[in-house]
Amino acid sequence: MHHALCKFFCFSAMMGLLVFTLPLTAYSQHEIQVTALTCEHLVRPIGIDTQHPRLSWKMQSTRQGAAQTAYRIIVDKDSLSVINKSGQTWDSRKTEGSFNLVTLQGGQLEPFTKYYWRVLLWDQQGEVLQPSEVSSFETGMMEMTNWQGTWISDRNGIDTRPAPYFRKVFEATKKIKTARAYIAVAGLYELYLNGEKVGNHRLDPMYTRYDRRNLYVSYDITAQLQAGKNAVGVVLGNGWYNHQSLAVWNFDTAPWRARPTFCLNIRITYTDGTSETVITDNSWKTHFGPIVFNSIYTGEHYDARQDIPGWNTVDFDDEAWENIALRAAPSQNIVSQVLYPIRNVEKIPAKSMKKINDTTYIFDLGRNIAGVSQIKLKGEKGTVVRLKHGERLYDNGHVDLSNIDVYYRPKDDSEPFQTDIVTLNGSPLVFMPKFNYKGFQYVEVTSNKPISLNKEDLAGYFMHSDVPAIGKVEGAEPLINKLWWATNNSYLSNLFGYPTDCPQREKNGWTGDAHFAIETGLYNFDGITIYEKWMADHRDEQQPNGVLPDIIPTGGWGYGTANGTDWTSTIAIIPWNLYLFYGDKKPLENNYPNMKQYLKYVESISPGGLTSFGRGDWVPVKSTSPLEYTSSIYYYVDATIVSKVARLLGKVHDVEYYCALAAKIKKAINDKYFDEKTNIYGSGLQTELSMALQWDIVPQDLKAKVAENLAKRVAADNMHLDVGGTGC
């Protein structure tokens, strides 16, 4: 599962093989609609923390030449006022321009408040169009000081394996108008109200640098709350916060590592206008449950003999449960998680099942995914069932993990890689892990006692950040469509609140892998919310001298000598692409100081304009390009992007400085590596030629000749690619 196919589509499009289309909402002939209203790039979000959220919309029309010439945005706490074109919160008045992404101005937004808004547009004839529908957004905490209660956990340490369960009963004393739950967690969680899970998110909250920034998630729980007594339950998972598994990336030695902890505020607003908040405090109780081990990296162990029926309901007797422990907040920066969440997006029934014997079954999903399996089990009490997940099979038909467990360093055999372990209690059971995901196509189910399974007993769930699809590729050849589908399957399998390199061996946010695939991602999916969160991770991880690690987030690994320009140019390339695809300057504004700090460091170690700070053309087929060449090209890319950003942001002095720096780097590259007589870069490898063309290193009047040499080189290589990550 990788990004290697991404450039194929660019090449194919130039050859006329593909048609790229964007789906449009159906509407009648000549009708103009104002649609797709979003706040912070989400539809009707709750938990907005910024005082100046971005509002955007689309104008759709079948009229030739239809265009927006002006807009008016109306915002108010009263939906009726907005309908009547009266906005006390903000009224932009008629504003000339074709802008469809505008930052809300006006007065101070209040926390825990729902705001309504709509847009009026004027067309190219100066006529006002039918107003948009009324949309909304809702603020969250807004400030750290609005949190009530405290962070709590159980009284155990980082090596304790069972997951902690928590519960509390509270009473809603009046008629309920609305109710919201705000939960901040270091680790992972599932939240329950009156026995039912709240929401459909998986693996919340997203992974961050926990000692510098924590995310909270907001839920509308009005429908789940009942008059009178209610029970709230929380179960915590380790996630990346308390990584107990050992691997070469040193997750277990992260500086923030601790027992998972959380803070919960349930804010209830009554019809009489009063409100109250249920908080985490000393009144909560805790206990172990059936999740006896969980690791985001290896698997989950579930002992059904320790099930606690009704643990999250009002009538449960928790006399035997223990008192909780109060904890300090993991960081002083608790902010709202404003992005598309991870979900079980697609259920995939097993395509086939092979029974080897009455204790071994092999299930095949028929496709490779990131996610989890769900299995129906029944058997004798004490029966131990193992579900080993892998991407390929040995010749004897068993699941082969040798290609994906290469970085795992187990201290014993109690925690097999990509393997869930379920102990039965004698009753039928449906098991799906809560705090883990894997990369797999095959599941080998083994048991220490005979069990009976059929093909329908196991299914896979494709999990990923549930970003909307916005692009489509259609080709005359079925192979083209299949390649496009496979590319998207790979991309989504590596999108879990941050872009990863693989969903099995590492699950790391490799920077180079992410910027190689950024165009593939944004042409096909509405991914800005994920990338903005990840750029905040960059800002958290950047050293004072400007250096970034090559995996982000990280527990400390990755600040070595190979985390150079070819990889950590994400600090410039990702925000720049977000601007190109969305026209949104905020990612540029947020990251501009970090881009400059990063370039300052590279410049300090590269006075001549060339640099060897980098990893190189990662995993080339056979030919290795010079490290200095590939690293220097990305140095040039960074300087060029920063000069463009400076121009957009009105930083006049910076424009001059970074344009001069880019010119210096480009000249140094061409002076050393370009032969104008042969129109060859370096020794004429595919990567050397393709990178020069891709990143505008080639003198303008010689581009055609260099491109011709690249075509000749590919032909000489028997029409096969001979590039690595940077050359593809």
Q: Quick check: do 50-136 and 351-465 share a fold?
A: no
Q: Which is nearest to 279 in space by CA: 456, 139, 146, 126?
A: 146
Per-residue pLDDT at 64: 81
Residues whose CB falls within 8 Å of the CB of residue 14, separated by 6 or more in sequence, listed in order? none
CA distance 492 to 724: 22
How much of the chain is helix, strand and coil, in % rounded to 5?
25, 30, 45
Which pair of tokens denotes residue 196? 């039912």
CA distance 689 to 705: 11
Q: Is 107 exposed, middle or buried (0-12, 13-18, 19+ CB in 10 A)?
A: exposed
Query: Is the separation of the CB atoms in 697 and 706 below 8 Å?
Result: no
Query: Is the separation of the CB atoms in 71 and 131 below 8 Å?
Result: no
Instruction: Kindly tell me the number of DSSP H helices and DSSP E strands found in the chain.
Output: 13, 38
Q: How far is CA 84 from CA 74, 79, 118, 127, 204, in A?
A: 10, 9, 11, 19, 39
Geometric angle at alpha carbon 68, from 63 and 72, rounded to 5°: 135
Which pair of tokens denotes residue 147? 């949190």
Residue 316: Cβ within 10 Å count: 18
Q: Which is nearest to 577 in space by CA: 537, 520, 634, 513?
A: 520
Residue 427: Cβ within 10 Å count: 11
CA distance 642 to 722: 31
525-716 CATH pick, 2.60.120.560, 3.30.465.10, 1.50.10.10, 1.10.1530.10 = 1.50.10.10
CA distance 215 to 335: 5
Which pair of tokens denotes residue 120? 């009026």
SS3 586: helix
CA distance 531 to 330: 23
Phi, psi values for residue 188, rounded to 5°? -125, 165
pLDDT profile of the chain (728 residues), mean per 10: 39 35 38 93 98 96 88 97 95 96 94 98 91 97 97 98 98 96 98 98 98 98 97 98 97 97 98 97 98 98 98 98 98 98 98 98 98 98 98 98 97 96 98 98 98 98 98 91 96 98 97 96 98 98 98 96 95 98 98 98 97 95 96 98 98 98 98 98 98 98 98 97 93
Per-residue pLDDT at 474: 87
Query: Is the separation of the CB atoms in 516 and 568 below 8 Å?
Result: no
Strands (E) located in 4-53: 18-21, 32-39, 46-48
Per-residue pLDDT at 161: 98
Residue 106: Cβ within 10 Å count: 15
CA distance 571 to 543: 13
- Give me the torsion for CA of 10, 14, 16, 21, rounded to 10°: 50
CA distance 484 to 486: 5
CA distance 15 to 376: 49
50-136 CATH pick, 3.40.50.2000, 2.60.40.10, 3.30.420.40, 3.10.110.10 = 2.60.40.10
Geometric angle at alpha carbon 131, from 130 and 133, rounded to 5°: 120
Domain boundaries, the chain: 50-136, 144-339, 351-465, 525-716
SS3 269: strand
CA distance 518 to 528: 10
The alpha carbon of 217 is separated from its chain's Cα centroid by a whole number of angstroms, namely: 15
* Residues constituting the chain: 728
Query: Is the separation of the CB atoms in 453 and 373 below 8 Å?
Result: no
Q: Which long-range contacts (CB under 8 A, 24 or more apart) does 691-696 make?
A: 691/625, 691/629, 691/630, 691/633, 691/726, 691/727, 692/633, 695/633, 695/634, 695/636, 695/637, 696/640
CA distance 460 to 372: 6
Question: Which amino acid is located at 621 in the chain?
Answer: V
Q: How far is CA 209 from CA 100, 216, 337, 447, in A?
A: 33, 14, 14, 39
Query: Is the separation of the CB atoms in 550 and 567 below 8 Å?
Result: yes
Which DSSP helix (H) or strand (E) runs through 70? Answer: strand 68-76
SS3 671: helix
Phi-psi region of 711 (alpha: psi -120 to 50; beta: other; left: phi over 0): alpha
Cα-only R_g, the chain = 27
Question: Domain 351-465, what fold?
Answer: Jelly Rolls (2.60.120)
Geometric angle at alpha carbon 647, from 643 and 648, rounded to 5°: 120
Geometric angle at alpha carbon 580, from 576 and 581, rounded to 5°: 120
SS3 439: strand
* CATH 2.60.120.260 describes domain 144-339: yes
Strand partners, 302: 291, 422
SS3 714: helix
Terminal alpha carbon distance of the chain? 16
